[in-house]
């Protein structure tokens, strides 16, 4: 923690896929065992996969990058997890409001400096 200058262990619920990945690391370099400190019921109630980070992120920087590439809406790109359309609209709107892009999605000189 940069504020306190101390390490901390944050306890949080993880997906089954994350738990399986971490268990795989237990024996990578030498024999090892992974202990899951939760019940089978708790395990079965966990999400299968972690929610993609793009779903919860501010996509304004991505919207600017896409505009620089000449594809302001991201059309024609193949995504592992497509960005949420609402978040992309909000990102494009913020760029327009800041004067970083024109209405057609092209980047202004100010946008290039950002």
In this predicted structure, the answer to whether residue 90 has a pLDDT above a threshold of 80 is: yes
Q: How many domains does the chain have?
A: 2
pLDDT digits (tens, 9 = 90+) for 2-23: 888 889 888 889 999 999 999 9
61 and 12, same structural domain?
no
| Domain final position from 50, 68, 89 | 50
Q: Are residues 59 and 107 in the same domain?
A: yes
33-73 pLDDT tens trace? 999 999 999 999 999 999 999 999 999 999 999 999 999 98
pTM assigned to the model: 0.69
**Do 61 and 31 share a structural domain?**
no
DSSP for the chain, please give it.
-TTTT----------HHHHHHHHHHTTSSS-------S-HHHHHHS-SSPPPGGGTS--HHHHHHHHHHT-TT-TT---SSPPPHHHHHHHHHHHHHHTSB-TTSPBPHHHHH-
How many CA atoms, within 13 angstroms, populate the side-chain half-sphere of residue 112? 6
What is the span of the domain harbouring residue 15? Answer: 1-50
């Amino acid at each position: 923690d940069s504020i306190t200058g101390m390490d901390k262990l944050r306890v949080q619920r993880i997906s089954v896929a994350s738990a399986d990945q971490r268990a795989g690391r237990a024996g990578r370099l030498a024999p090892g065992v992974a202990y899951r400190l939760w019940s089978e019921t708790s395990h079965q109630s966990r999400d299968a996969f972690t929610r993609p980070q793009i779903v919860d992120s501010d996509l304004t920087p991505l919207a600017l990058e896409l505009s620089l590439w000449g594809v302001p809406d991201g059309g024609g790109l193949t995504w592992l997890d497509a960005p949420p359309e609402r978040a992309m609209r909000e990102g494009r709107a913020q760029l327009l409001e800041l004067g970083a892009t024109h209405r057609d999605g092209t980047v202004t000189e100010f946008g290039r400096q950002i």
